[in-house]
Structure 1
Amino acid sequence: MVKTFAVIGLGLFGRKVCEVLIEKGGEVIAIDNSPDQVNKVKDFVTQAILLDTTDDETIDDAPLDHVDAAIVAIGDNIEASILTTTLLKQIGVPYVIARAVNKTHYRVLKKLGADEVINIEEDEGRSVALNLINPSVLKKVILSKNVILSEINLPKNFIDLKVGDLDLKDKFSIRIMAIRRVLTKLDSDGNSIREELFLYIEDVDKFLDGDILLVSGATTDIEKFSSSIEV
């Protein structure tokens, strides 16, 4: 079943949300109070609307009756973000995701009933800092508010150990889900061929130098683990 989303605020962040939702097969109603911003998305979204979402009479006329979720992507205009989030909840949008620009804004949006609040600047700043402090963490995917999936370089002291030798669940409350392993072979002409394997943990006899671990757990637990390892 195709899902329908409303994206309100069509700056860089909002436009990117529209693009990805469309690419993944969703229907997108894109809304902004700027004609220039609406024009930038009108050719690839399902519907582009010039609308002031801070006006309760105007927003009542918007075609939002059947949207599955609304994303309030408004940037620095905190008042507009707050009013829009409030009105979306009042008209019964089932799931509202709002963008916050600081901690106070975050708390206000949560109190207003936003189902999910994201702080782009804070999250990105945290990510940059963590990558500098813990270069062993390669990539991460957010699974829920507190749980992430991360790729981590194999610690040196894990080399040649067996999966059963580790006790990460009890020590750090994290799980190793799989391993990404790169093998180099020679073809018949003596040329190197790089082969990448994705191995589920039950298929791994022991860890090899160069393995990349795919681990899941709470953000703080993975940070604690990655800070403790030697790479």
Structure 2
Amino acid sequence: MAKEKVFAVVGLGSFGRKVCEVIAEKGGKVIAIDNDPALIDRIKDTVTQAVLLDSTDEDSLSGAPLDDVDAAVVAIGDNVAASVLTTALLKRAGIRFILARAISELHEQVLRQIGADEIVNIEIDEGQRIGMRLMSPEILDRIPVSHAISVAELYTPKTFAGKSLLKLDLRRKFHVNIIALTRVNLSVDEMGNPLRNEQVIFPHAEDVLEGTDVLLVVGKNEDIDAMREY
């Protein structure tokens, strides 16, 4: 039987608390750490163990139950010094994988230099996402996979309607892949009331796009934009 994974989450603001809730909901063990008694009290019934301590104090952190932790999440966002020091101390404690939250590019750079394995930069990622959405309103949503690649949800371009994916040949022309589409079917019931039915389709080459289809596309950002403007 596979060993149950154990996670430590340091910093129980909105971001850290949500990480705890999702891991616990999925059956993982969570050790939640913060120096705010109110936040500890709020999460204690959700996680495996809630520990009140100052994560920037090496003596306090060394007393935390971290021996079996597989990965740690440093979710501290409003105190850069505490975030950096906590990450460094967790690294020194031998935690195998550390994911840390950054609030600026400089913060991200420092976290990488001291050994964070993965960085989540919510403010910059979300700012980029909103800016791109405002500049391209026909793109309903765009989720970064990396700095260069995204998964985008967008309306079917008018020039694509009525054509099959085979004929459009998007992979060759634009180096993008349509991984799914949502097709909206409108009808009326026996009383004449409008009905809206959404069907998710994983398309084949011979499938023909309709003008109301919403496409889920993966590719480089510039390639998605080129396809959108075609």
Q: Fold match, TM over 0.5?
A: yes
Q: How does 1:14-93 map to 2 (within 5 A)?
A: 14-93=16-95
Distance 1:19 1:96 in 2: 18
Tell me which amino acid in the other structure corresponds to 2:107.
Answer: H
1:184 corresponds to which of 176, 186, 189: 186
1:169-216 Cα shifts (integer Å, max 9, x gaps): 234322111211011123444443222111111176211011011111
Q: Deviations over 1:107-145 (max 9, x none)?
A: 111111111111111111112111111112223445567
Q: Confirm or deny: 8 A CA contact 2:108 2:119 kept in the other structure.
A: yes
Q: How many positions carry a matched residue from both structures? A: 228
**Cα distance 1:143–1:28, how it changes in 2: closer, same or farther (>3 A)?**
farther
Aligned residues of 2:165 and 2:205 also touching (Cα < 8 A)? no
**Map of 2:118 onto structure 1:** 116
**Mapped partners of 2:226, 2:179: distance in 1:** 15
Q: Structure 1 length as normaliser, TM-score?
A: 0.88
Equivalent residue letter for 2:208: K
Matches within 5 A, 1:187-226: 187-202=189-204, 205-222=207-224, 224-225=225-226
Could you state the TM-score of these two structures normalised by the residue count of structure 2?
0.89
The two structures, once aligned, show a CA RMSD in angstroms of 2.2
Query: 8 Å contact 2:129–2:143 — kept in the other structure?
Result: no
Residue 163 of structure 2 aligns to a residue whose secondary structure is coil
Q: CA deviation at 1:218?
A: 3.5
Structure 1 counterpart of 2:229:
229
- Cα distance in 2 for residues equivalent to 1:18 and 1:94: 19
Task: Please give the per-residue CA displacement for 1:33-85, whole angstroms capped at 9, x wherever unaligned.
Answer: 12122112112122110112112222222112222221101112111111111
> Do the aligned residues in 1 keep the contact of 2:69 with 2:95 (CA within 8 Å)?
yes
> 3-state SS of the aligned residue for 2:195?
strand
Give the one of 103, 106, 109 matched to 1:104: 106
Match of 2:9, SS state, is strand
Partners of 1:103 and 1:87 in 2: CA distance: 21
Q: Provide the identity percentage.
A: 46
Q: Which one is further off, 98-107 or 182-191?
A: 182-191
Query: CA 1:66–1:128 in structure 2 vs 1: closer, same or farther (change >3 Å)?
Result: same
Secondary structure (helix, strand or coil) at the match of 1:170 reads: helix
Amino acid at match of 1:124: E
Question: What is the SS of the residue equivalent to 1:179?
Answer: strand
| SS of structure 2 residue aligned to 1:202 | coil
Partner in structure 2 of residue 6 of structure 1: 8
> The residue matched to 2:101 in structure 1 has which SS?
strand
Name the aligned partner's letter for residue 12 of structure 1. Answer: S
Matches of 1:181 and 1:130, distance apart in 2: 24
71-80 or 185-194: bigger deviation: 185-194
- Which residue number in structure 1 is paired with residue 135 of structure 2? 133
CA distance in 2, matches of 1:42, 1:219: 42
| One-letter code aligned to 1:51 | L
Q: What is the deviation of 1:229?
A: 2.5
Query: Alpha carbons of 1:188 and 1:229: their partners in 2 closer, same or farther (altered >3 Å)?
Result: same
Give the Å deviation of 1:156: 1.1
